[in-house]
Amino acid sequence: MNTCKSFKELRKIQTVFDGQKRCLWCYIPADNPVNKPLPMLVFLHGGGSNARNGARAARLFLKARQENFVLVLPEGSGKPGLFRTWNAGTCCGYAMRKRIDDVGFVTTIIEELASKFQTDSSRIYLAGFSNGGMLAQRIGNERPEPFAAIACVSGAFVATPYLEKEPISILLIHGDADRAVPYEGGKRVLFRGWLRTHPDTSVEHAIQFWIRRNQCNETPISEEREKVHIERYPNGKQGTEVVLCRVRGGNHAWPGGYREWPFAPKPVSFFSATDFLWDFFKRHVKR
């Protein structure tokens, strides 16, 4: 890996994986007064975006400063700039067509960075938006070992399921007015199939898979917040849980975040996915 300082507080890291040049960005907190290992959050941007744009839209830089965690921002493959994608199974675009090994790429760089930076191996978390959330679910499904918990915002489960793998806690946040990755599954309305070849599975499909995989309680503990319905499925193997946040009227945007570009769907302002996601992660330490 070749590490070089980039703009502001981010470091750009360039590497070669599986014969292809890949890029990622890292934020390492400067303030670590007790000099202890820090948590790490790996964030996967949405399809058609890039690492810095996706993290800015989710307001992750501010959260990393406030909570003092290492933020790792891998970048998908494709054309320079925007329009980068991940191979999450049946989505999306260049990465899917070329069968890019994004599961291997993400898990490999985590192993390298965890040893390079001062991180707590029991508190490594994975989150993603849209196509990146789909990949987060695929990685949690196929290679959960490095992670204490994962989260998916506005993404479907579009990979081959493996029930026999080890359990892992997961948070799903999804707007029920999402037209790009429909809550109920099926064909999307936005983008007219751009980057996509298969109908999406429903959020319920993903929830039921993860409940079976983790062997959680099948009856949820429900909670109502302002326009957000929360279901918690606790008591899974190894202390795992499955949590669903159904954002009423939420569309294909990061709740509580920014638009990634002027014509993108407008995020709801009454719920912060970033705050809820980090509170969820803080409850989970890998045993």
Q: What is the pLDDT of residues 170-216, one digit of tens each?
A: 999 999 999 999 999 987 655 544 556 678 899 999 999 999 999 99
Q: The domain containing residue 228 runs over which residues?
A: 2-282
**71 SS3 class:** strand
Residue 69 lies inside a defined structural domain of this protein: yes
Q: Is residue 90 one of the residues assigned to a domain? A: yes
Q: What is the mean pLDDT of the chain?
A: 90
Return the closest-CA partner of residue 181 out of 217, 206, 162, 211.
206
| Number of structural domains the chain divides into | 1
Q: What is the pLDDT of residue 114?
A: 86
Query: Residue 270 above 80 pLDDT?
Result: yes
- Whichever domain contains 266, its CATH number is 3.40.50.1820
- Cα 150 to Cα 175: distance, rounded to the nearest angstrom: 18
Structure tokens at 93: 């675009």
Candidates 94, 146, 159, 117; CA nearest to 24 is 117
Lowest model confidence (mean pLDDT) among 46-50, 120-124, 153-157, 273-277: 46-50
User: What's the confidence (pLDDT) of residue 5?
Assistant: 39
- Identity of residue 124: I
* pLDDT tens digit sequence for 90-110: 998 889 989 999 999 999 999
Structural domain includes residue 287: no
Contact 73, 25 (CB under 8 A): yes
Show Cβ contacts of residue 83 under 8 Å, excluding neighbours closer than 6 positions: 48, 93
With respect to residue 80, please indicate whether it lies within any of the assigned structural domains. Answer: yes
Report if residue 65 sits inside a domain: yes
Question: For the whole model, what pTM was predicted?
Answer: 0.93
The span from the first CA to the last CA of the chain, in angstroms, equals: 29
pLDDT computed for residue 175 by the predictor: 97
Q: Is 173 helix (H, G, I), strand (E, B) or coil?
A: strand
